[in-house]
């Protein structure tokens, strides 16, 4: 106790002592954190605009240059050498070096450096080797114009920035996470960067878009010049190998085959897609085979792969660089301009140094000639002191130095004294003059380059392109993507049930009434006998309201599904009839389809996926003097309105019952369908080429360059082959004309045929591998012109016009056809077809079917009167 009291007294006395003031650590922590953040930003995570390198990358390149002798060095040795400059562990240096090597630009690699396609890691640094590439030696290093600084321990000198004469930052890309900020600069194409630099030097505008080493397809419509807020979408390249197999040949940037396959398997486990088996045959090139179960649509599965797996992803660029020791956010256009301007400055500095060296060489060569030619070296024979020697030479040179470009210095004289007697004795005046002439030519050339610096820089970039641009063409295909709605391509992996009386829907009510198959991302629309409607997400069990009369999977923006309704407006009120569609709603909100009065009741309801309008019979109760107790009503006489419209009055008297008298037909018009070549999809919005007006049983005709023809139902999920040459509405009676080269017989044949089997893919040329389709026409009476190859030593055969209709009759699709000519054909060209009037089709009134699932259509309107107000369509759009 006494000891504790003594300690407390000492503490109190120390506190009272003004020399022992307390120091708060708040400010210290603030400074420490700011220092740490600055260090991470400037020294680790963000590249410099001058050379495009982070510090660790710059130090690796500097070490490779110091070790460079033309041979490979062990990466472990390079890492150890780099640690003289980089105050961090060897693992971070090795990882950074592997990343540079995998970009195949600056480092010439040997050994297992990993695989960016499969995600395989590189071998240990003691097993792999590296040296600088010829490109790196040409554009990255120039010691004479490099600024140097002390290394972290003061023992070595390292470059502040490397004099990179190329937009290397944009070619390699960069990604880093610092404290409080990050950077993500995407890689761009080597050749396109050079072309953009040349355009900038010429004062022309240019655009830059990313190009990824993993290839794939990219949508750059929202790239935003690589600034914050921009976004690009990347997709794998998926093609249909056969009816039950898809092949992935290119993958999105940021993924590898392992992660891509994992994402497909996870989507399969969750029931988003159905996959039978996956094979990974990736070696030098990507090849992933996705085997599908029988009955699964390949086109729909391709969309599902984009919607639910890593086959499509979004990348958000963020252009952040270091300039003057400060982070700066700029776009790729400005990065390219700054890099190009910096390259011009470096080229100018190199030319100025080269000019200075040439002039210095010319100056000393001139002095040497004067010294030897005029035998001035004899003037120093009698001199006994060094000062006398210098003075004698200076006097001897004086009469001959008027044409020199600068004054003679003592250092020049000292260099003259170092000339050996052997050199003086073998001095050749003619060779000396030739040397001076060549130096003067080179000096004039360098001065010309300096005077025409921009032209010199343009030629420099052109030389880089010619020297290193081979096999560096664009790998990523730029294309505008179509938007894929997940609900339309999701596999319906669960079953929906309903308990109508109690008002429950869900996937767990297996003892109740089955409704339909659905996916777990679907929305369900429900109608009750009280005249209420609700849309709710699929769940295991959801209460929506008692006495359910209709439940179905809801399609957003669906104007083709028309609901026909007759309801009683409140207790003892009149009855009304209405037709409406539901395009957008607020989820889990109860919508009244009546006027909302208590005790309203639905008397008749039907849901019609193609806008069918049936005929019903109205039966009234016997009340008072009502004479007409029964009559028919046709829903096709009722306008299609919004769901909140009141409708047309049926009767002010009580309705006994309503019977269905006649099933209806669609009241919607045939649909106009367009093909948008930009995204390669069908649409109803008028984008691209109009294919025609389609009814429910109409098909489209597709012909490919491989000689394959097929007719299919036009659906929005269709993926078209890249070699498609014909896409149009199919007319079953119109023949197809084709000219092809038969590889087996080595002759040209012509044939006309009809498509014999719908929804089947057929080959209409011979199966020989050398058989080639030359021309195909779907005109009724086509004309073609044949241009023949000129035989050696013979006259050119004149062009020949062929009326295909007269040349050959319509035969079967498998027929060989008639031989066109024995001569070699240079080309076959389609001429203007002969006139022909296609017989008009008789179109039945009201006939229509749903053509494109889930798309919008135009509703037919009639002149019937509606005593309700205008359409009151809900403005809130959900989902």
Cβ neighbours of residue 348 under 8 Å, at least 6 residues apart? 450, 453
Q: Do the Cβ atoms of 773 and 765 come closer than 8 Å?
A: yes
Q: What is the CA radius of gyration of the chain?
A: 41
Spatial CA neighbour of 721 closest among 219, 247, 215, 210: 247
Spatial CA neighbour of 401 closest among 419, 431, 374, 438: 374
Residue 309 CB coordination number (10 Å) = 24
Q: Do the Cβ atoms of 148 and 157 come closer than 8 Å?
A: yes
Which of 29, 36, 39, 127 is labelled catalytic? 127
Spatial CA neighbour of 170 closest among 246, 216, 214, 225: 225
Cα–Cα distance measured from residue 531 to residue 553, given in angstroms and rounded to the nearest whole number:
19
Q: Do the Cβ atoms of 573 and 597 come closer than 8 Å?
A: yes
Cα–Cα distance measured from residue 673 to residue 687, given in angstroms and rounded to the nearest whole number:
9
* Sign of the torsion formed by the C-alpha atoms of 682, 685, 686 and 688: negative
Q: Do the Cβ atoms of 204 and 187 come closer than 8 Å?
A: no
Structure letter (DSSP) for residue 41 = I
Label residue 624 left, alpha or beta by phi (over 0 means left) and psi (-120 to 50 means alpha): left
Tell me the H-state helices in 421-518.
421-425, 429-451, 453-468, 486-489
Which residues sit opposite 784 in a β-bridge?
802, 830
Cβ neighbours of residue 436 under 8 Å, at least 6 residues apart? 362, 365, 366, 369
Q: Do the Cβ atoms of 531 and 588 come closer than 8 Å?
A: no
Cβ neighbours of residue 444 under 8 Å, at least 6 residues apart? none
Cα–Cα distance measured from residue 144 to residue 353, given in angstroms and rounded to the nearest whole number:
8
Cβ neighbours of residue 160 under 8 Å, at least 6 residues apart? 146, 147, 148, 149
Label residue 369 left, alpha or beta by phi (over 0 means left) and psi (-120 to 50 means alpha): alpha
Cα–Cα distance measured from residue 117 to residue 253, given in angstroms and rounded to the nearest whole number:
9
Residue 205 CB coordination number (10 Å) = 8
What is the CA 18 to chain-centroid distance, rounded? Answer: 69
Q: Within a 13 Å sphere around the CA of 752, how many CA atoms are in the beta-carbon half? A: 17
Burial class (CB in 10 A: 0-12, 13-18, 19+), 833: middle
Residue 127 annotated among the catalytic residues of the structure: yes
> In this structure, which long-range contacts are made by residues 370-374, counting pairs with CB atoms below 8 Å and at least 24 apart in sequence?
370/397, 370/400, 370/401, 371/396, 371/397, 371/416, 371/419, 372/419, 372/424, 372/427, 373/427, 373/429, 374/400
455 is written with which tokens? 């032209």
Three-state secondary structure string covering 415-434: HHHCCCHHHHHCCCHHHHHH
Residue with tokens 């087996």: 744
The full length of the chain comes to 879
Cα–Cα distance measured from residue 355 to residue 360, given in angstroms and rounded to the nearest whole number:
8
What distances in angstroms separate CA 471 from CA 69, 190, 203, 466, one per listed residue?
A: 27, 10, 28, 11
Pairing assessment for the beta strands 575-580 and 640-641 based on DSSP bridges: parallel
Residue 323 CB coordination number (10 Å) = 12
Catalytic residue list: 127
């Amino acid at each position: 106790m006494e000891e504790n009291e003594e300690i407390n007294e000492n503490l109190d006395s120390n506190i009272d002592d003004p020399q022992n003031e307390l120091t708060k650590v708040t400010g210290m922590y603030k400074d420490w954190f700011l220092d740490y953040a600055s260090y991470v930003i400037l020294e680790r995570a963000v590249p410099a605009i001058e050379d495009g390198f982070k510090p660790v990358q710059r130090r690796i390149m500097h070490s490779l240059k110091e070790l460079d002798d033309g041979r490979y060095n062990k990466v472990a040795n390079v890492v150890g050498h780099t640690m003289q400059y980089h105050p961090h562990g060897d693992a971070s240096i090795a990882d950074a070096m592997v990343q540079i090597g995998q970009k195949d630009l600056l480092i010439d690699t040997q050994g297992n450096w990993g695989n960016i396609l499969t995600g395989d890691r590189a071998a240990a640094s003691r097993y792999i080797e590296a040296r600088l590439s010829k490109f790196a030696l040409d554009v990255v290093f120039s010691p004479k114009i490099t600024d140097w600084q002390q290394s972290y321990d003061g023992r070595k000198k390292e470059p502040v920035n490397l004099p990179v004469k190329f937009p290397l930052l944009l070619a390699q890309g960069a990604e880093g996470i610092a404290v409080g900020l990050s950077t993500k600069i995407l890689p761009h194409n080597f050749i396109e960067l050079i072309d953009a630099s040349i355009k900038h030097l010429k004062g022309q505008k240019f655009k830059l878009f990313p190009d990824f080493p993993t290839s794939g397809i990219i949508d750059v419509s929202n790239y935003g010049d690589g600034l914050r807020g921009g976004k690009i979408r990347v997709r794998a390249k998926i093609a249909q190998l056969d009816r039950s197999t898809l092949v992935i040949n290119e993958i999105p940037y940021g993924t590898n085959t392992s992660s891509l396959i994992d994402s497909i398997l996870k989507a399969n486990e969750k029931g988003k897609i159905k996959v039978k088996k996956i094979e990974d045959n990736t070696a030098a090139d990507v090849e992933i085979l996705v085997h599908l179960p029988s009955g699964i649509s390949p086109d729909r599965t391709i969309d599902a792969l984009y919607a639910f797996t890593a086959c499509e992803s979004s990348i958000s660029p963020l252009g952040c660089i270091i300039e003057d020791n400060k982070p700066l956010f700029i776009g790729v256009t400005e990065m390219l301009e700054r890099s190009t301007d910096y390259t011009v400055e470096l080229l100018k500095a190199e030319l100025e140094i080269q000019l200075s060296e040439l002039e210095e060489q010319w100056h000393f060569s001139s002095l040497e000639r004067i010294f030897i030619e005029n035998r001035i070296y004899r003037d120093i024979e009698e001199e006994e002191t060094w000062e006398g020697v210098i003075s004698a030479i200076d006097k001897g040179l004086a009469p001959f130095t008027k044409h020199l470009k600068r004054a003679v210095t003592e250092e020049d004289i000292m260099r003259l004294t170092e000339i050996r007697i052997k050199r003086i004795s073998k001095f050749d005046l003619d060779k000396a003059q030739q040397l001076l002439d060549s130096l003067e030519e080179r000096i004039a050339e360098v001065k010309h380059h300096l005077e025409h610096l921009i032209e010199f820089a343009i030629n420099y970039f052109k030389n880089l392109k010619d020297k290193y641009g081979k096999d560096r063409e664009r790998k990523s295909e730029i294309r505008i993507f179509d938007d894929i709605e997940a609900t339309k391509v999701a596999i319906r992996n669960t079953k929906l049930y309903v308990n109508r009386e109690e008002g429950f829907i869900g996937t767990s009510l297996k003892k109740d009434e089955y409704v339909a198959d659905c996916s777990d991302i679907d929305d369900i629309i429900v109608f009750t006998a009280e005249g209420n409607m609700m849309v709710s997400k699929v769940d295991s069990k959801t209460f929506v309201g008692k006495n359910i009369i209709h439940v179905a999977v809801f399609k957003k923006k669906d104007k083709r599904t028309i609901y026909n309704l007759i309801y009683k407006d409140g207790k003892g009120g009149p009855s009304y009839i209405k037709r409406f569609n539901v395009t957008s709603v607020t989820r889990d909100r109860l919508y009244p389809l009546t006027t909302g009065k208590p005790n309203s009741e639905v008397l008749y309801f039907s849901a019609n996926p193609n806008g069918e309008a049936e005929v019903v019979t109205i039966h009234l109760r016997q009340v008072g003097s009502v004479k007409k107790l029964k009559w028919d009503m046709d829903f096709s006489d009722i306008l299609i309105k919004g769901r909140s419209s009141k409708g047309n009055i049926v009767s002010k008297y009580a309705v006994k019952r309503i019977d269905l008298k006649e099933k209806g037909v669609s009241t919607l018009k045939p649909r106009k369908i367009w093909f948008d070549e930009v995204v390669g999809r069908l649409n109803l919005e008028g984008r691209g080429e109009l294919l025609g007006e389609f009814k429910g049983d109409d098909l489209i005709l597709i012909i490919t360059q491989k000689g394959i023809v097929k007719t299919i139902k036009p659906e929005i999920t269709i993926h078209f082959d890249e070699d498609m040459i014909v896409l149009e509405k199919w007319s079953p009676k119109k023949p197809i004309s084709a000219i092809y080269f038969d590889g087996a017989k080595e002759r040209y044949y012509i044939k006309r045929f009809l498509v014999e089997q719908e929804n089947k893919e057929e080959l209409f040329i011979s199966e020989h591998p050398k058989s080639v389709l030359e021309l195909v026409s779907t005109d009724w009476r086509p004309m073609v012109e044949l241009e023949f190859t000129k035989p050696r030593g013979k006259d050119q055969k004149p062009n020949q016009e062929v009326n295909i209709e007269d040349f050959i009759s319509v035969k079967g699709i498998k027929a060989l056809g008639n031989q066109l000519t024995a001569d070699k054909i240079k080309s076959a060209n389609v001429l203007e077809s002969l006139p022909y009037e296609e017989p008009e089709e008789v179109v039945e009134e009201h006939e229509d079917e749903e053509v494109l699932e889930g798309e919008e259509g135009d509703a037919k309107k009639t002149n019937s009167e509606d005593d309700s107000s205008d359409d009151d369509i809900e403005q809130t759009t959900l989902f």
